[in-house]
Amino acid sequence: MAYPTETGSSKENLTFYYDPSGNRIAKHVYDSGNDLLSSTFYIRDAQGNILTTYKFTTDGMSSSYMLKERNLYGSSRLGANTDSLEMIGVSPLYDMTPYSHSLGLKQFELTNHLGNVLAEVSDRKLPYPNGTVVDFYQPHITSTSDYYLFGMMMEGRSFSREGYRYGFNGKENDNDVKGAGNQQDYGARIYDPRVGRWLSTDPLQLKYPDLTPCHFAASTPIQAKDPDGKVVLFINGQHEGEGGTSRYWGKYDQRAMDALGDNSARYVDGAIGGWLNTLGGIRGLSNTSASQRHLAGRLQGIADASDIINALGEGETIKIVAHSIGVGFSRGYVEGLIEWSSKPENAQARSRLVFEYELDISPFQGSQFPVSKFVKTTHTKVGGKDGVLTVAPVAGAINTSDASDAQKGHAIGEMSTSKIPNLGNNGGKTDRPVQQGSNNTDKPAAFRKPK
């Protein structure tokens, strides 16, 4: 997929290429005669995060192909290593040349709650001497930006190192198109922060007739952002009849949605009926068996897939909050959604299925359920006074239990929401929660046994 070049212009012509998920994978720059000047290639992981960029340049006589940037990640992008490496005509690195390390080529981004990159600092520190001693150090600031409400950079209050591409909402600036910071690539759509509008309509415009189809963040950019968001799956643990409903969560669900910035909830019973099923009765699957919970989750994911995925708009993602025995069910549920979308007849749906975040709280048999390879970021929390046997943090997940959790037990209601990332909402609107518990009459048609 590419935007057409503008032929016959005296300015540089641009062509962009995207993968089926809407992620940019290449940018080509041509001169006015449509001769290639440079190409930038983006290497991404399975969830679309940019890992590495390469740049090819040519003047018609000679060419260069360089590894330009290697991004640094924690739970999200932290910065980038910009120590470039030439990839054409280089000798193997087997000699005994002494190793040297250059400071200032590794940058770290400082962002706010919306993901806006406010400043970038390097790994270099600047000494301030006092006579013959260094009194203190100050950071080496390589980029800084102050924004108006909808993301336009303030004149005289922003500067950037050459080649830095990120800014408002942490998205990539297309500086070659309209100037520095005046157009941004969100994958699904292109955004102009000067007017606070998308350059194409909202794929969910029919659901929100009171909002302009090109609005950004429901015109509330201080508290909301609009890169994604649509549904938070709440998968409960053991219960006495309130499985698959908001009642199970003791208001933790609303606190989690407030932290995530997404108020579209779907409640799924991860206990296969609760205590009534613990001994393997009502559905023939015991909810204390790790393998059987995983299987039940996979079957339910297949059954619910069409209802969930077809409701997703372009660029929107899925978040999951699971508790106790619901964690094992969640692993299977994700695989069920993937399995349904992998069928040839559902190929278009597969490109929209992105699991951005999961929070696993008090995971029962947690050691048997490492992080899912399909989920971009997984956090885990465990109460310090949780006395349930086999409860353990999920292997490979980031443990975000805080000091207050040290005094908590197994119950979900009072656990902390610390370090839950704000991942954007669905335009400030709240869809009616879908509750599909096995002991609950308020369930959609999609809650059925797969054929």
Model confidence over 369-397: pLDDT tens digits?
999 999 999 999 999 999 898 999 999 99
Cβ proximity of 330 and 354 under 8 Å: no
Specify the CATH architecture of the domain 231-435: 3-Layer(aba) Sandwich (3.40)
Give, for 64, the enclosing helix (H) or strand (E).
strand 63-73
Tell me the pLDDT band of 451, cut-offs 50, 70 and 90: very low
Give the model's confidence band at 447: pLDDT under 50 very low, under 70 low, under 90 confident, else very high: very low
Backbone angles phi, psi at 127, to 5 degrees: -80, 145
Choose the weakest-confidence range: 88-97, 342-351, 425-434.
425-434
> Would you state the pLDDT for residue 308?
84
Distance CA 336, CA 296 (A): 9
Helix (H) / strand (E) containing 290? helix 290-309
Q: What is the mean pLDDT of the chain?
A: 79
- Strands 63-73 and 50-58 turn out to be antiparallel
Q: What is the pLDDT of residue 94?
A: 55
Task: Give the pLDDT confidence score for residue 283 in this predicted structure.
Answer: 53
DSSP summary character for residue 104? T
Euclidean distance between CA atoms 378 and 110, whole angstroms: 22
d(CA 154, CA 371): 41
Over residues 15-20, mean pLDDT:
85
- Burial bucket for residue 238 (CB in 10 Å: 0-12, 13-18, 19+): buried
The tens digit of pLDDT for each residue in 164-203 reads: 778 787 788 888 788 888 888 876 678 888 888 888 776 6
- Give the Cα separation of 285 and 291 in Å (integer): 10
Identify the pLDDT of residue 68. Answer: 87
Domain boundaries, the chain: 13-89+103-206, 231-435
- pLDDT tier at 336 (50, 70, 90 boundaries)? very high
Over the stretch 22-62, which tens digit does the pLDDT of each residue have?
788 999 998 888 888 999 999 887 667 788 899 999 888 88
Query: Which of 352, 320, 298 is CA-nearest to residue 20?
Result: 352
Task: From 419, 428, 316, select the one nearest 377 (Cα to Cα).
Answer: 419
> Which tokens sit at 325?
């025995």
| Residue 344 DSSP code | G
pLDDT top residue among 230 and 349: 349
Write the DSSP assignment of 372-403 as a string of letters: PTTEEEEEEE--TT---TT--PPTTSEE---G
pLDDT at position 160 is 77
Burial class (CB in 10 A: 0-12, 13-18, 19+), 173: buried
Beta-carbon contacts of 179 under 8 Å, excluding residues fewer than 6 positions away, are none
Share of the chain above pLDDT 90, in %: 25
Residue 426: pLDDT over 50: no
CA distance 52 to 57: 17
What pLDDT sits at residue 113? 66
pLDDT for 203 equals 60
Amino acid residing at 215? H
Per-residue model confidence (pLDDT) at position 225:
57
pLDDT digits (tens, 9 = 90+) for 193-242: 888 888 877 665 655 566 677 777 666 666 555 544 457 899 999 988 88
**Is 343's pLDDT higher than 80?**
yes
Instruction: List the structure tokens of 252.
Output: 């933790």
What is the per-residue pLDDT for 449?
34
